Chains A and B, each alone.
Chain A
Amino acid sequence: MKVIGLRLALPAAVLALVLSAPSRADEMGGPGFSSQELRAKLDYCKTCHGLSGQGYRGYFPMPRLAGQQPKYLENQLRAFYERRRSNPVMANVAHALSPSMVAALAAHFKDLNTNPIGGAPKEPVALGKTIYELGLPEANIPACSACHGPEAKGQGEIPRLAGQLFPYTVKTLGNWSKERGQGPAKDDTSFIMAATTHNLTQAQVAAIAAYVGSLR
């Protein structure tokens, strides 16, 4: 009786170990959080930013995060958190993220590649391309491509603009000094864009937003 009992118990114990081992490894998503927590957080971001990070047109536009530069994404989350960039909803979202979680989220979004959601007007695209590539020297507007790159993919703390939602880019360039670089003066990358956004007319903003929004 005892022998049989032991024989039965042993394989069962081994089986339990084998089954639990991969699931425990699965939980090791990174320092300080499990892979389930990471997945739940990603699902959360994507309810607003689109299932493949392509962005979403709600009452307010939710920007595309797919293919975004990790450094830029991390910078912006910190800016929301420190309220240098004003948006109460994203301030709360950023508040609940650890630095290691932010790094994991940024790496995930960088690797997403999805088509732009479209919806931008077609007519001003040609003007937008000209301004993007050559700037408007007479109006003191630099070529955007000099920093954002010839394909608008960005680099480091300079954001990708390709495929960004038209209404989001229009709103962002139109409200720059009301939304960015807020609070007591700090080192903030947003000042780099401030003069440029002041010199652009509404029609030029719409043209650039239509152009970069159409880029893959």
Chain B
Amino acid sequence: MKRIKSKTAIVAIVFSLAGPLSAGESLPIRNCTWCHGSSAQGFSTAPRLAGQREKYIENQLLSFSAHIRDNPLSQQYMWGATANLSPEAMRDFAAYFSSLPPKAANDGDPQLAAQGRAIYELGIAEANVAACLVCHGPNAEGIREIPRLGGLSHAYLKRRLEQWGQGFHAAAEPMPQITRALSPNEIDALASYLSFVAYESLE
């Protein structure tokens, strides 16, 4: 009896590490929360997944596994984490994480928040900076394949906006063109403002 049990346990571990997941199996959430934080609110360099738009998460998982999202930390962590995920498992992870309530990181520079908000809502037409609101929503809530930005961490937002300018993740239309017009100070201001936008003030 004992021997059989330990054998099934080993088989289960082997499958969860290497085998493609089918939709019926329960999701091995811990493969993700290990890095993304126990309630998926983000941890260290891994961004918050809780409350992110379902379609956006699915798209990102597909683009990690196809090596289209090639940011340095994506290559380092997410290429491996998605290497053995089936499309069904990606959909299941997307459905699960999008259903969790997100918390705001609140870790930006409060002094820059007003400037960031003005750029977010109105853009800077003289400098060809697009208003983010028209796509990401009045409360940075996102929609469909357009991500929620409200409450993501300052460091993650800043890194994402900077890395488009460095040529990474070039296929993520229209963000490469949009970030081209942003100065380092404007990026800092946007990331600061967005880190304070709370879920409670949203839907």
Contact = CB atoms under 8 A, between A and B. Distances in A.
Contact of A48 (B130, B137, B146): B130
Contacts of B128: 40-41, 43-44
Interface in B168-196: 173-174, 177-178, 181
Given A47-B130, A59-B138, A93 B125 contact: yes
A14 interface: no
B181 A89 contact: no
Contacts, number: 56
Contact of A44 (B133, B138, B146, B181): B181
Contact of A95 (B125, B141, B143): B125
Nearest to A88: B122
Interface in A25-71: 40-41, 43-44, 46-48, 51, 56-60, 62
Contacts of A88: 121-122
A92 interface: yes
Given A47-B174, A93-B125, A59 B130 contact: no
Nearest to A60: B134
The interface residues of chain A, by DSSP majority, are classed as helix
A96 interface: yes
A170 B121 CA distance: 24
Most buried by B among A47, A62, A88, A93: A47
Interface in A86-116: 88-89, 92-96
A58 B177 contact: no
A75 B4 CA distance: 78
Contact of B134 (A59, A94, A95): A59
A46 B181 CA distance: 13
Interface of B: 121-123, 125-126, 128, 130-131, 133-138, 141-144, 146, 173-174, 177-178, 181
9 contacts: A44-B128, A44-B130, A47-B178, A48-B130, A59-B134, A60-B134, A88-B121, A89-B122, A89-B123
